[in-house]
Amino acid sequence: MDEEDIRVIMGLFDGIGDKLIKQSKITLKIYQKLTIAEANAIYAIGIEEPKTMKQLAETLDVAVSTPTRTVDRLVEKGYANRTVGTKDRRQVLIELTPKGKKLFVEMDEEGLEIIKKMLINLQDEEIEAFKNILLKVRDSME
């Protein structure tokens, strides 16, 4: 692989990234004007069990103090609640409210639709190869 190949791939990543960001901004405006950080936090909190701030920070790959303001905004907007842990009362747990869980599902469905549109022109074998390439790229970055 030469420098020209790398530049072409870099340009393709940039173009795809720009389109994804544009689509995400359109989608997020539909969902009560969430910021990207708020949408990421909703995904990280999830709809299963409550998360500690430490778990949330680890999922988002940020410092423990970083998601605090984002969670504050989600609580203000009615998408999340803070509760005290039952096993350890020093622990603060974050969970999505029913409104937040509904939004999570809607955003997840919208995300699936965006990916389906991206892959619509690919055959099953191409999708499998693409998935394997993305796994190799991800693994090389760890």
94 near 52, Cβ under 8 Å?
A: yes
Neighbours of 115 (CB within 10 A): 10
What residue ranges define each of the domains in the chain, with the CATH number in brackets?
3-140 (1.10.10.10)
Q: Is the pLDDT of residue 33 over 80?
A: no
Report pLDDT for 13: 87
pTM beyond 0.75: yes
Confidence of residue 71 (pLDDT cuts 50, 70, 90): very high
Report pLDDT for 25: 67
pLDDT mean across residues, the chain: 88
Which residues 6+ apart lie within 8 Å of 49 measured at CB?
95
Confidence of residue 28 (pLDDT cuts 50, 70, 90): low
* CA distance to 5, 21, 33, 101, per residue, from 37 (Å): 33, 13, 12, 17
Confidence of residue 20 (pLDDT cuts 50, 70, 90): confident
Distance CA 89, CA 45 (A): 20
Distance CA 128, CA 75 (A): 40
Only one residue has tokens 């988002």, namely: 60
Query: Amino acid letter at 37?
Result: A
Q: Is the pLDDT of residue 27 over 80?
A: no
DSSP letter for 94, please: E
Residue closest to 104 by CA, chosen among 53, 32, 54, 52: 32
Report pLDDT for 97: 97
DSSP letter for 46, please: -
β-strands 51-52, 92-96: how paired? antiparallel
> What is the per-residue pLDDT across 82-139, written as a single tens digit (0 to 9) for each?
998 777 777 889 999 999 999 999 888 888 888 888 899 999 999 999 999 999 998 9
Distance CA 122, CA 28 (A): 27
